[in-house]
Chains A and B, each alone.
Chain A
């Protein structure tokens, strides 16, 4: 069961990398967060700890319900075009993603050895998700895509923390959730500002400061 969930995370990340439209990106992000929620919830069921239920619940509310909704609303309000603005076209992006998957596997084996197959798979997928988030931040032009890229990276780290060490200490986990929440609000605020001043949200064209 756990592997099915991890596989679903992998698929949703690939979907994010090859998509061309912002709304599709947000939808895939929602799928990915939902898979993470399932993983967290199943760990909670197994371990029977209240903390883990709370963390899973918060994850669901924040990353599955609230943040995607907020992002959808932002697109509607600023009437930005649906195009993500790709530096790298979908086919090439897919190749990159395959390369990333292989790279994170090599990295994992170097790091923890190849004995424990289950753990190797978890590590690999977590690192891959982080790399995919970085890729989205660098090779997509709009400000919204950068926000989602950051969230994807954070999802990857959540997955890593949850699978390898059963999560961070409880209050740290809560504090990190709070942090993610605040940072999305603030970045959303700045997206409005950028749209107001520049009448676009193409961060590639923000080049007034140099040298």
Chain B
């Protein structure tokens, strides 16, 4: 029953945007609504992890631990983003960048966008999964082009076209899956809960081809190289809280879709096929992104390329496929979502003060914005996988799993590129945070809601990652049940 509240509250909030005047009240209402959703999804996660999958609403909605985990990740990031939006939008209005009316449109789109993302893990039918993911693209295109500048319109156009083409291939893959299902003599159905138990009797040849289409299609949306070209444009031009949503959770919904089909493939064709494709795309993403990170000049594009890198790591983790690696990859989904939103909030604050994306023009952040500067200092270590933070733990799990499995080459590649990216990040951020202050910049105050969003995510980065060590056993058991049936 809880799932209906999780899907319903964003819609109610979207309705509220049509009637409630005053963006400040709207913002606070939003934050409260998403706080409730966060609690509900935490309860749901606990329920399902203990009791197993449930179906409701005539089998239209089907939840197992995997889907509820993704719902929880989405809830965390959406709540933080709603909190951060209050101050950010207020700031934009005061500076005259957007009007009051446009702020209401922003909240309307924000709610519709998050609602469509909650739908992705909740639905059972693979066709509806496709529709939900396409909906996320269509709604967020407006948020990418929100500022109505030449660059943002260009980014929105590329985003909508590249993702739509990608996702058409995913639909082709979905239809081939349904074809494989229908020629095996079973009754027509597109529900994954019906497909998984019979996957081993489906035609292997067709499943293999279908999965390639799925991987190209949803991989485009997930930002796996070489289909990633839309990602840096869209992430750098979107409104800052939306960049956090795009990078933190939108990419993860596509990863979820790949995993759903992946589970059917693992049962139907065998693990090696799935593993090779995932590792191949993961390594390509890692290589491509590290190159662009080294030479990057634009702050938000830097973070966007880092998202490609982390999606690559997640994909390698699932490709390795031992319980430890899968557990690490799932943890990484959560950790990356939290840490990357944290960094995008910081980048949003910096860009709105300096009014530039170019990192060469951003110097001395820690003196202009002491709080944000401090947080970014921690965040850059957290993001590149430094020791006490959560990303370190999940990356470590994947690397250890690679070594114990005997995949030394993969482990070596991972370590090499992580080191390169670490160096590049420290170089870029060291200059930005501590360099000489440009003329005319003075110390500026920051808004409470923004600080709260930072603290909330910061707590998760430091807390959950560490607490996870203590529940590793249960976690690995759950993952084993999910993937290695």
Contacts and interface: CB of A to CB of B under 8 A. Distances in A.
B171 A157 contact: yes
B154 A206 contact: yes
B127 interface: yes
B179 A165 contact: yes
B131 interface: yes
Given A164-B175, A193-B145, A194-B153, A183 B138 contact: yes
Contact of A154 (B125, B131, B158, B168): B168
Contact of A197 (B153, B171, B292, B301): B153
Task: Using C-beta atoms within 8 Å of the partner chain, give the interface range for chain A.
Answer: 35 or more
Nearest to B233: A209
Contacts of A118: none
A76 B220 CA distance: 34
Interface stretch (A53-61, A64-72, A93-101, A174-182): A174-182
A187 interface: yes
A169 B175 contact: no
A137 B175 contact: no
B434 interface: no
A134 B121 CA distance: 29
Interface in B163-218: 164-165, 168, 171-172, 175, 178-179, 182, 188-190, 205-206, 209
B301 A211 contact: yes
A186 interface: yes
Nearest to A107: B209
B190 A157 contact: no
B161 A146 contact: yes
Contact of B151 (A137, A150, A178, A209): A209
B135 A176 contact: no
Contact of A169 (B127, B141, B151): B127
A128 to B, nearest CB: 13
B146 to A, nearest CB: 12
> Is chain A's binding surface mostly helix, strand, loop or mixed?
helix
A22 B61 CA distance: 43
B439 interface: no
Contacts of B301: 211
Nearest to B203: A112
Nearest to B149: A197
A186 B154 contact: no
Given A157-B168, A157-B171, A190-B156, A172 B134 contact: no
A119 to B, nearest CB: 10
A153 interface: yes
Given A111-B206, A165-B175, A169-B125, A153 B165 contact: yes
A87 interface: no
B164 A183 contact: yes
Interface in A119-165: 130, 133-134, 137, 143, 146, 150, 153-154, 157, 160-161, 164-165
B160 A186 contact: yes
B111 interface: no
**Central interface residue in B135, B149, B297, by most chain A CB within 10 Å:** B135
A166 interface: yes
A8 interface: no
B160 A153 contact: no
A175 B130 CA distance: 10
B236 A111 contact: no
B301 to A, nearest CB: 7
A175 B131 contact: yes
Contacts of B189: 169
A67 to B, nearest CB: 15
A137 B158 CA distance: 12
Contacts of A198: 150
B175 A187 contact: no
A5 interface: no
A175 B209 contact: no
Contact of A134 (B165, B205, B233): B165
A80 interface: no
Contacts of B182: 164-165
A106 interface: no
B127 A137 contact: no
A194 B154 CA distance: 7
A203 interface: yes
A162 B135 CA distance: 23
B127 A179 contact: no
A165 B178 contact: yes
Given A190-B153, A190-B157, A168 B178 contact: yes
A111 B183 CA distance: 13
B188 A166 contact: yes
B127 A211 contact: no
Nearest to A169: B190
A111 B210 CA distance: 10
Nearest to B301: A211
Given A150-B161, A206-B158, A179 B131 contact: yes
B165 A137 contact: yes
A168 B232 CA distance: 35
B236 A209 contact: yes
Interface string B306-342: 0000000000000000000000000000000000000
Contact of B179 (A164, A169, A209): A164
Contacts of B190: 168-169, 172
Nearest to B172: A157
A150 B160 CA distance: 11
B296 interface: yes
B64 interface: no
A143 B161 CA distance: 9
Given A176-B127, A183-B134, A150 B165 contact: yes
B446 interface: no
Contact of A160 (B127, B172, B236, B295): B172
14 contacts: A111-B205, A137-B161, A154-B168, A157-B172, A165-B178, A165-B182, A169-B127, A172-B131, A182-B135, A190-B156, A197-B153, A209-B155, A209-B158, A211-B292
Given A150-B161, A194-B153, A211-B301, 8 more contacts: A146-B161, A172-B131, A175-B127, A183-B164, A190-B141, A190-B145, A190-B153, A197-B153
A-B residue pairs, 9 tightest by C-beta: A172-B127, A175-B131, A206-B154, A209-B233, A165-B182, A153-B168, A161-B175, A193-B153, A197-B150
